[in-house]
Amino acid sequence: MKFEFSPHVAFQVKEYDKAVAFYKDVLGMEEVSSSANESHLKCGPLNFYVENSDGGFTFFEFKVESVAKALELLESNGCRVTHTYSEKSIMFADPYGMRFHIWEE
């Protein structure tokens, strides 16, 4: 099973408006789009999604050839599904505290 890192990282922040201003004004990230609960920022080839949430999690994203096969492998290694968007798009938590999204074309 091949997990291809995707250049998309999402992270949740408590003070959303202040955080977005910081990433844009201090770190120089480019705003691609923005809504009341999520801003898509870009820094070089990486895409960052700032989410308005008390969760405080960071999410990586991986493209896989088969979500079904990846699901089986991940669950057998202690990962748990945290959200299912579709058969081809699932969020996970690993046993060590990291959160990530896998998707299939």
pLDDT of residue 65: 96
User: What digits encode the pLDDT tens for the residues 4-14?
Assistant: 999 999 999 99
- The SS3 call for residue 72 is helix
Q: What percent of the chain has pLDDT over 70?
A: 100
Beta strands 80-86 and 58-64: pairing type? unpaired
Specify the pTM.
0.86
pLDDT in tens, 54-81: 989 999 999 999 999 999 999 999 999 9
Q: Are strands 46-52 and 8-13 parallel, antiparallel or unpaired?
A: parallel
Cα gap 15→25, rounded to integer Å: 15
Q: Pairing state of beta strands 89-93 and 38-43?
A: unpaired
pLDDT at 55: 87
Q: How many C-beta atoms lie closer than 10 Å to residue 79's C-beta?
A: 21
Residues of the chain above pLDDT 90, percent: 96
Distance of CA 73 to the CA centre of its chain: 20
CATH superfamily membership of 3-103: 2,3-Dihydroxybiphenyl 1,2-Dioxygenase, domain 1 (3.10.180.10)
Domain locations along the chain: 3-103
Question: Do 91 and 82 meet the contact criterion of CB atoms below 8 Å apart?
Answer: yes
CA-to-CA dists, residue 34 to 2, 7, 24, angstroms: 32, 18, 12
